[in-house]
Amino acid sequence: MRKTETNQSTATNNSNDSIVSPRSIGTSSESRLKSIETRRRRPITLVINRGLETVETRRGWLKKLARGAAAIAFAQVPGFSFDPNAKASSHIAEAARDDVENQAEADETAAIEKLGNTAGLGRFRTTRSDHFLAIGDAAEAFRTDALAICELILLDYLDHFRAKGFEIHEPQKRLTVVALAGAKSFEAFSGEDPQGVIGGFYDRDTNRLIFYDFRRMNGPVAAARPEKANTLALVHETTHQLTFNTGLLARTRDVPVTIAEGLAMYVEQHNPKKRARPGEINRDRLKGLVLARGKRVSWIPIKKLIADDDLFGTKADDDTVQLAYAESWLLVHRLLTDKTKLEHFRDYLKEIQSRVDSTRRIADAAKHLGDLDRLDQDVQAYSKRLLRGG
């Protein structure tokens, strides 16, 4: 794993660059997505159930753009689950930052280009938005579309978590998205097997989101309609990147995987084009609970979920991994949607900002979230209510 690199946030528009602003997101299609990975020093596999929900058209997205995001007209790009039917202004508003590339961002771009060259990939090109830098061998339309999603996710993320009382801020620099043309480019660049890392991953060490076009995926895990896989993967991984760059979580400190993944899954089904907010019921994670019950996979106690990151990795069997993810979504959703628990959860996340290792995980959780055995019973009861439709 490479050392963490930071890149400042400004932009230039040269012959290889383009600048984009947020766009709308439309309908989705059913797909099969086996796993998305978020890493820090070792892989963590995310299993997604089949039968993904159809995403509906969002109304009123221009209202969000008017709150400070630049607006630009976009044509439909088929790489994601989009069908734009709203008209945006055809001009780019004044950028939040001067479009002058500083040395840190130039160094970041050069470093990624060098990695691409070492991997034997074609020419890397860049696309910039107010808060994100995309670089890679993916088509310009794909990069542009990806950054449009990232910007809208950021708007909704900031609105949602601020409304819940979290002291978060906009990213202090452009966040890097390495956008690759397909599975072959992804494998060459990252060294990861795309059959086990569908969509990409967020790397905490480098602070980069590495992402590829799932439409070029072949093999047993390829989806018949991959646009939904592209969208879901990008929403999930962008949420990881945002949580570690807005003050919600500390990127260089100890964070239980169950918390990091629970937050990403809390947002992952969110579609920035419709009025639904982050935090809706994640039906796919509920299906994970049902599948685990059907296979008689034992419930994982909350204490173990917080303490044992191996539940999410290659050391665990697939059924255990799927249950660990489902429970993580359930735990975080419960903590964020119960008024009393929310207050304690805010304090808990502040507490772990300074933790450099995992030795105090259980003590920190018990201090702020209360008796963990009682919390475990509460979360199990919550799962039963949700499964009954209550």
pLDDT tens-digit series, residues 101-132 = 588 899 999 999 999 999 999 999 999 999 99
The single-letter code of the amino acid at 350 is K
Q: Is the pLDDT of residue 69 over 60?
A: no
Q: How far apart are CA 311 and CA 334, in angstroms?
A: 20
User: Domain-by-domain residue ranges, the chain?
Assistant: 17-387
Q: CA 205 to CA 91: how far, in whole Å?
A: 37
Burial class (CB in 10 A: 0-12, 13-18, 19+), 49: buried
pLDDT above 70: residue 78 = no
Q: So what's the pLDDT on residue 215? A: 83
Q: Give the strands of the sheet with 125-128, arranged side by side.
A: 17-19, 125-128, 132-136, 175-180, 208-212, 200-203, 35-39, 45-47
Percentage of the chain lying above the pLDDT 70 cut: 69
Beta bridge partners of 377: none
CB 146 within 8 A of CB 189: no
Least confident range from 15-19, 46-50, 150-154, 178-182: namely: 46-50
Apex 154 CA angle, 149 and 156, nearest 5? 95
Indicate if the pLDDT at residue 135 is higher than 50: yes
Triad 197, 203, 205: Cα angle to 5° = 150
How many other β-carbons are positioned within 10 Å of the β-carbon of residue 61?
Answer: 24
Rounded Cα–Cα distance for residues 163 and 184 (Å): 41
Q: What 3-state DSSP class applies to 310?
A: helix
Tokens found for residue 162: 């601020």
CA-based nearest residue to 133, from 38, 252, 17: 17
With H, G, I as helix, E, B as strand and everything else as coil, classify residue 125. strand
Query: Which pLDDT tens digit goes with each residue over 289-342?
Result: 999 999 999 999 999 999 999 999 988 999 999 999 999 999 999 999 999 999
Residue 333 DSSP SS3 = helix
Beta bridge partners of 47: 35
In the structure encoding, which two tokens stand for residue 151, read together? 């910007």
Instruction: Give CA–CA dist 213/79, Å, rounded.
Output: 7
